[in-house]
Amino acid sequence: MKLRSIGERGSQVFNQNLKITRLGKSGRIDEAIKIFSQMAQRNTVTYNSMISAYAKNGRVGNARHLFDQMPHRNLVSWNSMIAGYLHNDRVEEAYRLFVDMPERDLYSWTLMITCYTRNGELEKAKELFNLLPDKRDAVCWNAMIAGYAKKGKFDDAKRFFDEMPAKNLVSWNSILAGYTKNGEMRLGVKFFEEMPERNVVSWNLMLDGFVEVGDLDSAWLFFKQIPDPNVVSWVTMLCGFAQIGKIARAEDLFKQMPSRNVVSWNAMLAAYVRDHQIDKAIKIFRDMPEMDSVSWTTMINGYVRVGKLDEARQLLNRMPYRNTAAQTAMMSGYVQNGRMDEASQIFNQIAIYDVVCWNTMIAGYAQCGKMVEAQSIFRKMINKDIVSWNTMITGYAQVGQMDKALKIFEEMGERSIVSWNSLITGFVQNGLYLDALKSIVLMGQEGKRPDESTFACGLSACANLAALQVGKQLHHLVVKGGYVNDLFVCNALITMYAKCGRLTNAELVFEDINHGDIVSWNSLISGYALNGNGGEAVELFKQMLIEGVNPDQVTFVGVLSACSHSGLVEWGLEIFTSMTEVYLIEPLAEHYACMVDLLGRAGRLEEAFEMVSNMKIKATARIWGALLGASRIHRNLKFGKYASKKLLEVEPDKASNYVLLSNMHAEAGRWDKVEKVRVLMKESSMEKQPGCSWIEVRNQVHAFLFDDPVQPRTAELCSVLKSLTTEMRNTSYFLTPYVDEPFSTYLLAP
């Protein structure tokens, strides 16, 4: 056996260290681990290289484990580990390691300062900067400048820039990057023109800034002026055209590139994927001279976007070195199609979990209403971000578990406007309108400014509470906040005013909208319907057609409901016919319910029954309820008995259905039948939901429930109401018989 010399062994270790570094940079971490494991001899550089490889690929836990196992550490080891934490946004761990360092150099301090500036913790960065024992170098100054500029604190950034003893081009570019990344292109252009010198990075920053704000004309103008554009310049311009759908221009640029690398190919591939041109994406993917993990991930995402999940999975299985991004793209496809078992299978195969893959699984389970599984994933997640918390709030709200949504919300360390909006939306969706309005107040007390979503939800709550004064206050805040032209908010204002009976205000908001959408028209039509203004609803419907706005299913529900409430039978029949014959919209249960109600109210019960019998869809509770209600009005026991039987088959557990049936029998004087209905309700352990009323007093909304002992003078109120009820009965105002039971039991108002 030939013995290797010390020099040969040293050369082999050097080469293996170099391979580990290269593999780590290219994302081939498994190959790097294999080389490290097979090395007979390792030195400190070997460990440092492997620590960096782990950290660059998101395996910061493995990096720290290896760091702790090192037989001998040097300053580079400590700095490599801190750099790993920096790369993975683990600021607290970085600082703890920084404190434990036996010695530090200027690079150690600069790394820690950069950790804080990148994380937006500028005061901590400034504190370290001021504590620097050695002479500060340009890298340290530039880290501070870049940190403040990135956060949009241009005055502070300029102050550091002006105090810097010797500025370099990086310093100038750091200020410029602050302007362009924050969309301040006017200031960016001015600063760019003042720069004593520029390099291709300076030009690319301007180019990227214009692309980000959607000013492709200025971007193209700058691109043509770049003295020596590099690959980044070409790719930035190509991506700009792709973002606005100008794929032909992007293709031309790709063909004109003097040289292409894998980044260029990936950019063109991404352009085709974004535009759903999957065939062209497949071709360019196959033509690529070199592929990296981004290439594979982009192609997998392309298949996912067009619903070709099997092809995406096959590509993932062929991928030479899978990464978290590719697996997450595959998971997203399964999640979007409700295939959670397959998504879970991919999730369990991931080697390095990042926040995106965790959030994808949480969102998937939440969308399916599987909140137990979502909660399990959420609790296992070590580093949650604000998206994780917000997804859980939304998920619980969607399944009606607002107590759990509120608990998650209260556990949050930091809440964003999205967090508040998720909670407020949940309250509104679940009928907890007072809680929604209270949350808006608390949000303001926490220093968060409401946005268009907040206002829309708040106005929806006011609409359902008929809280006009609170709605008006929100309207003032809408104007003050600059959302008066937001279509989403304006539509909510129309609905609020209409439901509060202020149609003139609703009309004014509608008329002030510059470019209304179908929701705007539907909101006002529904408002007219709600207030019994059937003629106005029909006229608005006609105007809508004249202006070329095509009605949708919601439009027809609104206008048919208006015809029903106003007794416009012929108009209703004509509009219903046009719905299928002219606009090719198949009627839903809601449309049939409106028509049954329309015909029933007019006493045309035979036609109403015939319509129900000939429907292509299965009759819903609302349809049978409309027929039963009409039968009650016209005292038609034949149709009433049939409708009530069908209604109880569809909704056997809803108390209001029994109440409606009881009232019908009572009005016909069939007290034995009334008693049978009541006995049936008791045997089914069914309780009518207590009625609830809201009133506004001095801009505050108060809720009142029957038999609510919390409200003052409840007994006195009940006594007066009983007295009024007796008088009404004695004058034969209504026929429901008196039963000696608690007030909330015999009051049958639905």
Summarised one tens digit per residue, pLDDT across range 42-84 is 999 999 999 999 998 888 889 999 999 998 999 999 999 999 9
The 10 Å CB-count burial string (b at 16+, else e) for 711-730 is eeebeeeeeeeeeebeeeee
CB 696 within 8 A of CB 469: yes
Tell me which residue has tokens 């403040």. 148
Tell me which residue has tokens 């492997």. 50
Q: What is residue 434's predicted lDDT score, i.e. its pLDDT? A: 94
Q: Which two tokens stand for residue 589?
A: 């249960």
Which residues lie closer than 8 Å to 215 by C-beta, 6 or more apart?
Answer: 185
CA distances from 453 to 29, 430, 456, 565, 689 (A): 44, 17, 5, 32, 31
Strand partners, 700: 697
When pLDDT is averaged across residues 684-705 and rounded to a whole number, the result is: 55
Decide if pLDDT at 355 tops 60: yes
Q: What is residue 317's predicted lDDT score, i.e. its pLDDT? A: 94
Give me the DSSP letters along 150-213. Answer: HTT-HHHHHHHHHH-SS--HHHHHHHHHHHHHTT-HHHHHHHHHH-S---HHHHHHHHHHHHHT
Decide if pLDDT at 554 tops 90: yes
Domains and CATH numbers, the chain: 353-436 (1.25.40.10)
| DSSP-based three-state secondary structure for 227 | coil
CB 203 within 8 A of CB 232: no
Q: Which two tokens stand for residue 410?
A: 């209260």
- Read off the pLDDT band of 146 (50, 70, 90): confident
Q: What is residue 253's predicted lDDT score, i.e. its pLDDT? A: 94
| DSSP-based three-state secondary structure for 704 | strand
Decide if pLDDT at 40 tops 70: yes
When pLDDT is averaged across residues 355-371 and rounded to a whole number, the result is: 95
- For 566-601, what is each residue's pLDDT tens digit? 999 999 999 999 999 999 999 999 999 999 999 999
Angstrom distance (rounded) from CA 151 to CA 179? 10
- Read off the pLDDT band of 733 (50, 70, 90): very low
CA angle, 380 then 382 then 388, to 5°: 80
Tell me which residue has tokens 């290289």. 49
Burial of 58 (0-12, 13-18, 19+ CB in 10 A): buried
Angstrom distance (rounded) from CA 648 to CA 664? 14
- Read off the pLDDT band of 148 (50, 70, 90): confident
**pLDDT-above-70 percentage for the chain:** 86
Angle at which helices 386-398 and 402-411 cross, to 10°: 170
- Read off the pLDDT band of 320 (50, 70, 90): confident
Decide if pLDDT at 306 tops 90: yes
Decide if pLDDT at 1 tops 60: no
Q: Which two tokens stand for residue 627?
A: 């027929």
Looking at per-residue pLDDT, the higher value among 641 and 206 belongs to 206
Q: How far is CA 415 from the centre of its chain?
A: 15
- Read off the pLDDT band of 695 (50, 70, 90): low
Q: What is residue 740's predicted lDDT score, i.e. its pLDDT? A: 34
Q: What is residue 333's predicted lDDT score, i.e. its pLDDT? A: 95
When pLDDT is averaged across residues 380-395 and rounded to a whole number, the result is: 93
Angstrom distance (rounded) from CA 560 to CA 537? 9
Looking at per-residue pLDDT, the higher value among 718 and 382 belongs to 382
Decide if pLDDT at 691 tops 60: no
**Lowest-confidence region among 98-102, 407-411, 513-517, 628-632:** 628-632
- For 227-286, what is each residue's pLDDT tens digit? 999 999 999 999 999 999 999 999 999 999 998 999 999 999 999 999 999 999 999 999
CA distances from 487 to 136, 509, 523, 617 (A): 53, 10, 12, 35
Which residues lie closer than 8 Å to 148 by C-beta, 6 or more apart?
Answer: 117, 122, 154, 156, 157, 160, 178
Q: What is residue 700's predicted lDDT score, i.e. its pLDDT? A: 57
| DSSP H or E segment with residue 693 | strand 692-697
Angstrom distance (rounded) from CA 450 to CA 444? 7
- DSSP E strand stretches across 198-285: none
Give me the DSSP letters along 582-621. Answer: TS-----HHHHHHHHHHHHHTT-HHHHHHHHHH-SS---H
Angstrom distance (rounded) from CA 556 to CA 538? 10
**Of 225, 224, 167, nearest in space to 193 by CA:** 225
Angstrom distance (rounded) from CA 531 to CA 538? 13
Which residues lie closer than 8 Å to 229 by C-beta, 6 or more apart?
Answer: 200, 203, 223
User: What pTM did the predictor assign?
Assistant: 0.73
User: Which amino acid, one-letter code, is at 618?
Assistant: K
**Of 434, 439, 410, 413, nearest in space to 424 by CA:** 439
Angstrom distance (rounded) from CA 72 to CA 467? 71
- For 405-442, what is each residue's pLDDT tens digit? 999 999 998 899 999 999 999 999 999 999 999 999 99
| DSSP-based three-state secondary structure for 705 | strand
